[in-house]
Structure 1
Amino acid sequence: MYKCMNCGKDVEIDLKNAKKIICSHCGYRILLKKRPPVVKRVQAR
């Protein structure tokens, strides 16, 4: 699942069959990979 930088909509792309990676809504070519909202905790020394 990717998020378009232009319109902000979620885009699902099959990378094996895709010739071009573009937004299916607006045609923009810059997409961000959506990451799960996981908080990493690091213990201080």
Structure 2
Amino acid sequence: MSYKCSRCKRDVELDEYGGVRCPYCGHRVLLKERGGGIKEVDVK
């Protein structure tokens, strides 16, 4: 899954055993990348 570090803004790929930490700067706050699509919801 693709994440972006909130401090250095680099793309980060996490493996399931590595924990949550940026391998470049060591920061522990990562933001999940969102898809480019827009969801439409029908409201009744």
Question: Shorter chain as normaliser: what TM range?
Answer: 0.7 to 0.9
Q: Moved runs in structure 1, 4+ residues, more than 2 A?
A: 40-45
Q: What is the TM-score with the length of structure 2 in the denominator?
A: 0.76
Corresponding pairs, count: 43
Unmatched runs of 5 consecutive residues or more in structure 1: none
Q: Distance in 1 between matches of 2:40 and 2:15?
A: 33
The alpha-carbon distance between structure 1 residues 44 and 21, as it changes in their structure 2 partners (threshold 3 A), is closer
Instruction: Identify the residue that residue 9 of structure 2 maps to in structure 1.
Output: 8
Q: What is the TM-score with the length of structure 1 in the denominator?
A: 0.75
Instruction: Identify the residue that residue 29 of structure 1 maps to in structure 2.
Output: 28
